[in-house]
């Protein structure tokens, strides 16, 4: 196992811990996004073939799209007016 994979793994573990102790929802999303980037980096480093690069790129793109959707949804919920009946 290379040192790069170990370093990225440690960063992912730190981001997971920070996600658990974060108070704000937007702060949690930031840490989850950093974790997904780290996971795509580990995929690219571990599977050192062209197919591994395709898998890492696919994971990176889909995780970026999902984090953007979550951030957009959080923004919409904050702007929503709640009426008490």
Residue 61 falls inside a structural domain: yes
In this prediction, residue 26 carries a pLDDT of 74
When pLDDT is cut at 50, 70 and 90, the band that residue 85 belongs to is low
Residue 85 falls inside a structural domain: no
Query: pLDDT tens for residues 22-78?
Result: 887 778 878 888 888 888 888 888 888 888 888 888 888 888 888 788 778 777 766
Contact 8, 35 (CB under 8 A): no
For the entire predicted model, the pTM comes to 0.69
Q: Distance between CA 32 and CA 82 in Å, rounded? A: 28
Q: Distance between CA 56 and CA 24 in Å, rounded? A: 29
Tokens of 31: 């840490």
Residue 34 falls inside a structural domain: yes
Domain holding 12, by residue range, is 3-79
Number of structural domains (the chain) is 1
Higher pLDDT, residue 9 or 66: 9
């Amino acid at each position: 196992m290379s040192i790069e994979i170990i370093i990225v793994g440690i960063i992912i573990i730190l981001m997971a811990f920070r996600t658990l102790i974060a108070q704000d929802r937007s702060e949690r999303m930031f840490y989850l996004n950093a974790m997904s980037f780290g996971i795509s980096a580990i995929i690219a480093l571990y599977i050192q073939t062209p197919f591994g690069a395709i898998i890492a790129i696919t994971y990176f793109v889909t995780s970026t799209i999902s984090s953007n959707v979550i951030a957009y949804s959080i923004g919409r919920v904050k702007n929503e007016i709640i009426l008490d009946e």
